[in-house]
Amino acid sequence: MDTLTNILDDLADHITVLKELGQRTIEMDPQTVRELTAPVVPVNQQKAIPGMSAKKRTVRKREPLSKSVLQSSKLLSPEERLQELREIETETNHCFDCGLCKSRIKPLIGQGNSNSPDIMFIGPAPDAEDEKAGKTFSGPAGDLLTKMIEAMGYQRGDLFLTNICKCRPANDRPPLQEEIKACTHFLEEQIKIIRPKAIIVLGAHAIKGLFQTQSRSTSPQGAWTQYHGIPVMPTFHPKYILRFHNDAEGQQKQLKSSVWRALKAVMMLLKRD
């Protein structure tokens, strides 16, 4: 099973690289396509993680996120925002809505400034480094993100950093569509509470995941789009950039330039250039 998982992870990574380099088609054997598109057995009753309560979380009734909800919903005080975020954290701790509850040690809902920060960074899911540190965007990728943030004239604590899925996928593979779908409501609630002025979404998986509920195609990196009325700039994930550290053709440099152009566009929007 581990071998199969590793093969699928490598395949997903390879396809992501091709896509981010602009390739839009791939040749596949028809039998492989049939097998890959066979119905997936739904995750129903997941076993409780040792030490964690198996009781079903109480899901609060949530208004669907929309531009009008963002504009008209009550502006919360800083204390109310923290309280709401703590409630979301408690809900994720008791959430067994997708298979990621089996691989996580603890869900991570993100951290930073929750009072209408200039920017919310959104990645696909926490990884092993994040889980170990108990903080989203840790390890070398987190260090690179910190450098990006500081180059924009901010500190990490000025902004809010989170992921679409709150639990770490096994072997740090990208989250599956059904996992993203199961978890997106937590992110939507966070956006409604935090009200960032702009969103920077990191990497193809997060871009696809963020927009899947709006059934629209993903936006290419570096081009403005919107999420419920909030300007969104998609760009490369720091972890993806770091993959090219031994790259003799300067691809990492190209990727960094491309990311910097995207960050500059956000700075212009926020009048920080």
Binding residues for ligand SF4 (CB under 6 A): 92, 95-98, 100-101, 107, 165-167, 179, 182-183
Nearer residue to ligand SF4 within complex by CB, 183 or 233: 183
Distance CA 250, CA 255 (A): 9
Q: Closest separation between CB of residue 96 and ligand SF4, Å?
A: 6
Nearer residue to ligand SF4 within complex by CB, 164 or 233: 164
Q: Sign (positive/negative) of CA torsion 93, 96, 97, 100?
A: positive
Q: Closest separation between CB of residue 20 and ligand SF4, Å?
A: 24
Nearer residue to ligand SF4 within complex by CB, 96 or 154: 96
Nearer residue to ligand SF4 within complex by CB, 194 or 198: 194
Per-residue HEC secondary structure of 174-194 comes to CCCHHHHHHHHHHHHHHHHHH
Q: Closest separation between CB of residue 141 and ligand SF4, Å?
A: 19
160 φ, ψ (degrees, to nearest 5): -115, 135
Residue that the structure tokens 């990621």 belong to: 100
Nearer residue to ligand SF4 within complex by CB, 164 or 265: 164
Torsion over CA of 183, 184, 189 and 192, rounded to 10 degrees?
A: 160
Helices first, then strands: H and E counts in the chain: 10, 6
Q: Closest separation between CB of residue 101 and ligand SF4, Å?
A: 4
Q: Closest separation between CB of residue 240 and ligand SF4, Å?
A: 21
Q: Closest separation between CB of residue 207 and ligand SF4, Å?
A: 18
Asked if 169 and 125 count as a contact pair (C-beta separation under 8 A), the reply is: yes
Beta partners for 226?
A: 231
Nearer residue to ligand SF4 within complex by CB, 100 or 263: 100
DSSP secondary structure letter of residue 47: P
